[in-house]
Amino acid sequence: MIKKIRQIIKGYLLWFLYYLYKPYREKRKKDADKRIKICEDCEFFWNAARNCTICGCFMDIKVKMYFEVDDEGKSIDGCLEKKW
């Protein structure tokens, strides 16, 4: 529970950073572009609705969110198939 609260607070702080600090915003946009290309090539991506058939998330929004990464650079809670 505490970990989830920390993640929510960190997410809000990073959104403020996103809007106030241009270099960080550019990095996040590059990451989002890379992630959406991976999603568009995935067999679970439903292009008509632009969402994932596994988790049901709208990927144009989810790829822009902050997720902690593991040692391999893959997001821990982002892609359920561990593709990004």
Q: What is the pTM of this model?
A: 0.74
Q: Count Cβ atoms below 10 Å from residue 37 Cβ, excluding itself.
A: 12
Q: Domain for residue 40, yes or no?
A: yes
**Unique residue bearing structure tokens 């144009």:** 60
The whole-number pLDDT of residue 39 equals: 95
Residues 34-69 pLDDT 10s: 999 999 999 999 999 999 999 999 999 899 888 888
* Higher pLDDT pick, 34 / 14: 34
Q: Domain for residue 32, yes or no?
A: yes
The whole-number pLDDT of residue 47 equals: 94
State percent of the chain over pLDDT 90.
42
Q: Quick one: tokens of 45?
A: 């991506």
Question: What is the total count of domains within the chain?
Answer: 1
Q: Domain for residue 51, yes or no?
A: yes
78: exposed, middle or buried (Cβ count in 10 Å: 0-12, 13-18, 19+): buried
The whole-number pLDDT of residue 75 equals: 84
Dihedral angle of Cα 66, 68, 74, 76, to the nearest 10 degrees: -110
Q: Quick one: tokens of 50?
A: 């632009």
